């Protein structure tokens, strides 16, 4: 198999009107990635070295998106929607390059797995000219049936054309196929449009291939793998299936999920063994967590790196560029963005750290803010090793707090602080004996007068 070349032709030209969206259907996300990108990844995992995307609705948007998830893919526009065979032929230029295997896939089946595609390619390697991927849905109503005889596929029969006995068949057409490259164009060009809709149906190549004496067989994928997305209900169902799969994988790899059904992963989440994840945690794209970390409840993490034995949350937000080193802690109601929290440093409570470095062993008090933005530009805050930042401090960047620097609580610091220095940046306190009692009495009298006046109005 490794010596056979493979092209995946992914049909992604549908308008997706049932999604009720201006966004092309196949660009709607599953686990933080466009659904068509999941299809591309599955094809690549099955050995497809060539990618052809057949696009139509939202072509410019599709091309732009494809540069991220399929930078080497060729795009072909299906100008008129004249059926699935017509769509595949839009990629004639790619098919004609002489690949051994051609996988025909759909951009709205994001859960297709590489094993199902590999099984189809294996049958091509054994000599089949066409391999149809089938599945067994819980309810076969509405699906085309796969008619087999003697281990060969004889026809794909649409339900309306099935006999009473054929309708009892539970093995249905998933739409995806693998076709031997040597026969692909000849078979596709033979498809006609003499039908009620005047369209060119890909399924017709089954009978065309058989008429030419070629072998046609079917393989089976799971129902989940073949699930197509037509509307946002299907989208949510696919998301739930994907998440369930990923949670299962995570737990088998040594990750503890206290309440698995409440944890949401992205397509590229990396999480090491012995990490504990509490309920209601969301991992956005670009998260890498080493082993032994603890992620407390209700944390939101995206684009962040978390080293071994870190402690995050509860109710923490790590934004892109957050880099937590060994045994660092980011506690409750803290936000970190584009900042390094070095070994053993603590950012415990109600704090914002952005565009900064917090040195090893430093302690950031509650309510601290790195003031990194002046409305036009971002500036950097450098906090040295072992520094202590008192509660309710504002560090106005650009600024450096030296190693073991000590910032008094409630300070606004606008100038850099040397190593081992103590810095105050607040107004001097003034205490007036008895003035508090006088103030309370005056305020109470004013409140009572206001209340009495309000009653008189009624």
Q: Which residue has the tokens 């202590």?
A: 388
Residue 349 a catalytic site member:
yes
Ramachandran assignment for 384, one of left (phi > 0), alpha (psi -120 to 50 degrees), beta (any other): beta
With a CB cutoff of 8 Å and minimum separation 6, the contacts of 307 are: 290, 293, 324, 325, 326, 327, 328
Single out the catalytic residue among 86, 248, 349, 458: 349
- In this structure, the strands spanning 282-283 and 300-301 are parallel
Other CB atoms within 10 Å distance of the CB of residue 221: 23
Given a contact cutoff of 8 angstroms between Cβ atoms, the answer to whether 215 and 96 are in contact is no
Given a contact cutoff of 8 angstroms between Cβ atoms, the answer to whether 255 and 273 are in contact is yes
Q: Report the alpha-carbon distance of residue 128 to residue 423 in Å, rounded.
A: 79
Other CB atoms within 10 Å distance of the CB of residue 393: 25
Give, to the nearest 10 degrees, the angle between helix 35-45 and helix 59-69: 50
Give, to the nearest 10 degrees, the angle between helix 35-45 and helix 114-125: 40
On the question of a cis peptide bond just before residue 314, with omega within 30 degrees of 0, the verdict is yes
Residue numbers annotated as active site: 349
């Amino acid at each position: 198999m490794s010596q056979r070349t493979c092209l995946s032709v992914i049909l992604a030209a549908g308008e997706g009107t049932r999604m009720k969206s201006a966004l092309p259907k196949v660009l709607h996300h599953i686990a933080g990635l466009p659904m068509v990108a999941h299809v591309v990844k599955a094809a690549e995992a099955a050995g497809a070295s060539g990618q052809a995307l057949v696009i139509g609705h939202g072509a410019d948007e599709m091309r732009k998106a494809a540069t991220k998830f399929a930078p080497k893919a060729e795009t072909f526009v299906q100008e008129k929607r004249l059926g699935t065979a017509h769509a595949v032929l839009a990629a004639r230029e790619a098919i004609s390059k002489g690949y051994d295997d051609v996988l025909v896939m759909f951009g709205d089946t994001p859960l297709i797995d590489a094993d199902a595609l590999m099984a189809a390619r294996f049958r091509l390697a054994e000599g089949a000219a066409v391999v149809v991927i089938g599945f067994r849905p819980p309810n076969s109503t509405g699906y085309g049936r796969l008619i087999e005889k003697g281990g060969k596929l004889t026809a794909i029969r649409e339900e309306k054309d099935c006999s009473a006995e054929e309708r009892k068949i539970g093995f249905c057409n998933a739409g995806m196929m693998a076709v031997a490259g040597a026969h692909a164009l000849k078979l596709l060009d033979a498809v006609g449009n003499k039908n009620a809709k005047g369209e060119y149906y890909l399924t017709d190549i089954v009978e065309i291939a058989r008429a030419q004496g070629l072998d046609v067989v079917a393989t089976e994928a799971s129902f989940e793998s073949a699930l197509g997305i037509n509307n946002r209900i299907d989208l949510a169902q696919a998301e739930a299936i994907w998440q369930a799969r990923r949670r299962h994988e995570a737990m088998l790899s040594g990750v503890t999920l206290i309440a698995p059904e409440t944890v949401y992963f992205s397509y590229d989440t990396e999480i090491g063994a012995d990490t504990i994840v509490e309920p209601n945690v969301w991992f956005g794209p670009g998260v890498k967590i080493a082993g032994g970390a603890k992620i407390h409840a209700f944390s939101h993490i995206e684009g962040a790196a978390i080293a071994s034995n870190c402690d995050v949350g509860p109710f923490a937000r790590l934004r892109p560029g957050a880099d937590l080193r060994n045994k660092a802690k980011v506690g409750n109601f803290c936000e970190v963005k584009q900042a390094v929290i070095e070994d053993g440093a603590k950012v415990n409570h109600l704090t914002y750290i952005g565009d900064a470095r917090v040195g090893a062993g430093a302690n950031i008090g509650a309510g601290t803010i790195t003031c990194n933005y002046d409305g036009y530009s971002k500036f950097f805050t450098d906090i040295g090793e072992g520094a202590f930042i008192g509660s309710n401090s504002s560090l106005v960047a650009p600024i450096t707090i030296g190693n073991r620097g000590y910032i008094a609580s409630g300070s606004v610091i606008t100038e850099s602080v040397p190593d081992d220095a103590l810095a105050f940046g607040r107004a001097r306190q003034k205490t007036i004996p008895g003035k508090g009692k006088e103030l309370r009495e005056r305020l109470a009298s004013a409140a009572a007068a206001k209340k009495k006046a309000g009653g008189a109005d009624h």
